[in-house]
Amino acid sequence: MMHLVQLHQSLYAQRVAAPVLAFSFAPAERFTRWISLVLDAEMPREWRANTRFIADPSLRIYHAYGLGRNSPLRVYGPRILLHYALRWLRGHGIPKVAEDPLQRGGDFVVDAQGRIALSHVGVDQADRPPAERIVSALLRCHR
């Protein structure tokens, strides 16, 4: 979630008006509830207007982009435990896992012709590319 907010901050700062698609393997009703609970509080409406949220509980899109599953050690290893400890210390709490915690996430930038300009498959749930790297790929697509 924080990654999505950081991405929009970078897009706004660079004056890049590129659409953002956010996919979740959660069922639509759970994904919609998450969006309203979390994003309404942390993301300005003008940023949300540029974002499309798509539920993919069948994992078709995840599989198409090569997003398999992680090992339990990666999911619950030291890096992730530190991430959750920092969330807890900041008062955000630790989210309850409702979906498959082993499902690997990723970030992709795809141009209008369907070519992949950036592909980042996370090694664990906290592994995301810097927002600036995503914005840079978006700018290359719009030249």
Domains of the chain: 2-141 (3.40.30)
Q: For 43-53, what is the mean pLDDT?
A: 79
Whole-prediction pTM: 0.76
Q: Distance of CA 71 to CAs 44, 75, 116, 127, Å?
A: 35, 6, 26, 14
Q: Residue 53 has which token pair?
A: 């949220």
Q: Distance of CA 55 to CAs 23, 25, 130, 135, Å?
A: 6, 6, 24, 24
pLDDT, greater one: 74 or 104: 104
Predicted confidence at residue 53, as pLDDT, reads 87
DSSP state of 25: S
Predicted confidence at residue 2, as pLDDT, reads 62
Residue with tokens 């999911």: 75
Identify the weakest region by mean pLDDT among 39-43, 49-53, 68-72.
39-43
pLDDT, greater one: 38 or 115: 115
Q: Give 31's pLDDT tier (boundaries 50, 70, 90).
A: confident
For the segment 79-93, what is each residue's pLDDT rounded down to a tens digit?
A: 778 888 898 899 887
